Amino acid sequence: EALGPQEYTGIKMRVVEWSDLVKAEDLEAQLGGRTVYLVAATLRPETMYGQTNCFVGPSLKYGVFAINDQEAFVCTHRAARNMAFQGITAEKGEVKQLAEIEGSKIVGTKINAPFSINPEVYVLPMESVLPDKGTGVVTSVPSDSPDDYATLMDLRKKPEYYHIDPKWASIDPVPVLYTPSYGEMSAPFLVKKLKIQSAKDAKQLAEAKELAYKEGFYSGTMTVGEFKGESVQEAKVKVRESMIKQGVGMAYAE
Ligand code: A2H
């Protein structure tokens, strides 16, 4: 793990329509009129143009937490507590849980992914989501994240097995940046090159993740968005700032 604190960008993904498994009426009654967002933690804000879905751990427990009088966030209790100590909640140090939801029930929820070329995306299950990292919500960018790509391909191969509607996994990876070594789709390129068969190939995926991250960071150029033509290194900071300014992102550390 990293030595110092990890600086993430929290991405606010507004709930557009809850999955059929969530008793939306009962939940609404607990929200006090607040708008609900799934909040994902990412190290690669510059790739958010390429979000195609979002992942939650199907066997993890999530809370709906009051951030202020207008907004509520879906994340792990641990993340909500961290947020409360980072000045993200209205009352410092205080975590107010409005409801609890199992990850498996959030799957199928339609959300709005900020900055994405496909703004309406669905929540899908990912077994490898860790309960003690970030918010427990992972936004999916299959063009640049080998884990996201491998998981999306697994889900597409066996939708019945994963209890998903194929429609939820139907958005294809969207190129957002170019690298000299891997072209404009680093993750699919590396998954093929390292002969990764599924999201269970953890060792090769760790290698692919490392390669994609380094090549993107040091040699990547943006091909879409406000900072098109700029280096990934420059765009990373600027996209983050832009998301924060527009109220769809926040600094989150742990
Ligand atoms: B990244 P680090 Cl395009 N469990 O965001 C598993 N993975 C998690 C997680 C959790 N609880 N919380 C966050 N993550 C993922 C984008 C991305 C990411 C791209 C490429 C690589 C990449 C889109 N998914 O991560 O262990 C999130 O996925 C590889 C570095 O703290 C987050 O950034 O270094 C990253 O792992 C944080 O990983």
Whether ipTM > 0.90 holds is: yes
Report the separation in Å between the CA atom of 43 and the middle of ligand 1, taken as the mean of its atom positions: 6
CA distance 81 to 37: 16
- pLDDT per residue, tens digit, the chain (254 aa), is 557 889 999 999 999 999 999 999 999 999 999 999 999 999 999 999 999 999 999 999 999 999 999 999 999 999 999 999 999 998 888 899 999 999 999 999 999 999 999 999 999 999 999 999 999 999 999 999 999 999 999 999 999 999 999 999 999 999 999 999 999 999 999 999 999 999 999 999 999 999 999 999 999 999 999 999 999 999 999 999 999 999 999 999 99
- The yes/no answer on whether domain 7-253 falls in CATH 3.40.640.10 is no
Three-state DSSP state, 222: strand
Instruction: Please tell me the predicted confidence (pLDDT) of residue 238.
Output: 98
pTM equals 0.97
Instruction: Please tell me the predicted confidence (pLDDT) of residue 2.
Output: 57
CB-based pocket (< 6 A), ligand 1: 6, 41-44, 47, 128-130, 133-134, 136, 138-141, 144-145, 148, 209, 213
Report the separation in Å between the CA atom of 62 and the middle of ligand 1, taken as the mean of its atom positions: 18
* Best residue for ligand 1 mutational test, from 6, 7, 39, 44 (most atoms within 8 Å of Cβ): 44
Three-state DSSP state, 212: helix
Instruction: Please tell me the predicted confidence (pLDDT) of residue 160.
Output: 98
Closest ligand 1 atom to 129 CA = 4
